[in-house]
Amino acid sequence: MKKVAFIALALVTIAGAAFAGGKPDASKMEKKLITVGYAQVGAESDWRTANTESFKSTFVEANGYKLIFDDAQQKQENQIKAIRNFIQQDVDYIVVAPVVETGWETVLKEAKDAGIPVILSDRMMKLSDNSLYTAWVGGNFLKEGQDAIGWLDAYVAKSGLKDKDLNIVILQGTIGSSAQVGRTQGVTEGIAKNPHYKLLAKQTGEFTQAKGQEVMESFLKAYPNIDVVIAENDNMAFGAIDAIKAVGKVPGKDIIIISFDAVHEAFNRMIAGEINADVECNPLHGPRVAEIIQTLEKGGSVDKIMYVKEGTFDTTNAAAILPSRKY
C-alpha cells in the first residue's frame, strides 16, 4: 500500500515538473529511508546485548534505514504493544524476536492487513498461517541441544566415564521460547538414550544470571551428588558457577558445565576451566535481516527459514578460537 503511494507521489512530481517545462530535480527526490520497527525481547543476557548491537549498528541512516527499537523487558504484552505501535507509524518492515512461540496470530493479522511485511529473527512463532510472516532467521535450537549431548557422549567416552551413572540437572531458558523448547527437547531426548544419564531436575532460570544462580542453589540443596549442569544460556551458567563455588565445589571439575550461546565471557570461563563446553548460537542477525529487506525491496523472493551456522567449543580449543570471535 505504501509503495503505491510513494510511486504515485513520484509520478506527480515528475508530471508536475514536466508540465512546468522543467526537469524533475533528482536531488529533491532524495532516497526515502526504509523504516524498520524492531520488537526486541529485552536485555536479559550477553547474547541479547550482542543481538541488539547487531541491529542498531546495521539499521542506520548511512545504510538507508530509520530504526525504531523497542525493548519489551521479556514481556509478550509489551512486544504486542510495540508491533501495534509500528503499524500505527506505518513502518515499512516489522522485525520481531518473539519472547515465546504462541499468542501472535491477532497482531500479525493486523500487520498483514496494514500491508507491512513481518520478519522473525532469533526465536520462532507457532502460527496456524505461515503467510503471517515473510521470513525467519535464527539458530537451530533442537540441533543445539543434540550437539550438547553429543559433546557429553564424546567427553564421557574419552574420560573413562562410560560406565558411570551421571546425575544431570538442566537450567532451562524462558519456558515456551523456541530456544528453550528446542534445546530442552534435544537435551532430554539425548539423555533418554543413555541409561547412565540420570536427569534429576529441570527448571527455568529465565535466561538470566541471577535466576540461574538461585535455581542452581536450590538444586545443590536438593541433590548433593550433581555431576553435570546443562545451562540453556551462558548467563545462567555464570550464575550456576557462583552457586557451585559457594558450596566449596569446583565448577568444570567436580561438576561438568555445558552451556549455550558461546558469548565472549563464556570463552574466558572455558579457558579458566569453569565451563567445559559451549554450543554456539550466533546473535549477529542484523546484517542477515538487512539482506532479506534489500532482496524484498528489489522485488526478489527470500527463503522462509534461514538457519545460521553454529559450532561447539570446549576447553581444548577456546583459547585458540577466542581472538576470532565477533561477539
262 is a site residue for ligand GZL (CB under 6 A): no
Q: What is the Cβ-side half-sphere exposure of residue 57, based on CA atoms within 13 angstroms? A: 9
| Alpha carbon distance 261, 279 (integer Å) | 6
Shortest distance, position 97 Cβ to ligand GZL, whole Å = 7
| Alpha carbon distance 105, 125 (integer Å) | 9
Confirm if 117 and 91 have CB atoms less than 8 A apart. no
181 is a site residue for ligand GZL (CB under 6 A): no
Residue 48 vs 108, nearer CB to ligand GZL: 48
209 is a site residue for ligand GZL (CB under 6 A): no
Confirm if 45 and 233 have CB atoms less than 8 A apart. yes
Interacting residues with ligand GZL between 4 and 63 (CB under 6 A): 44-45, 47-48
260 is a site residue for ligand GZL (CB under 6 A): yes
Please give the DSSP secondary-structure letter assigned to residue 67.
E
DSSP 108-126: HHHHHHTT--EEEESS---
Of the candidates 130, 138, 147, 109, the one whose C-alpha atom is nearest the C-alpha of residue 41 is 138
138 is a site residue for ligand GZL (CB under 6 A): yes
Shortest distance, position 247 Cβ to ligand GZL, whole Å = 25
Interacting residues with ligand GZL between 72 and 111 (CB under 6 A): none
Residue 83 vs 100, nearer CB to ligand GZL: 100
Residue 72 vs 156, nearer CB to ligand GZL: 72
The residues that touch ligand GZL, with contacts defined as CB under 6 A, are: 44-45, 47-48, 122-123, 138-139, 179, 207, 233, 260-261, 281
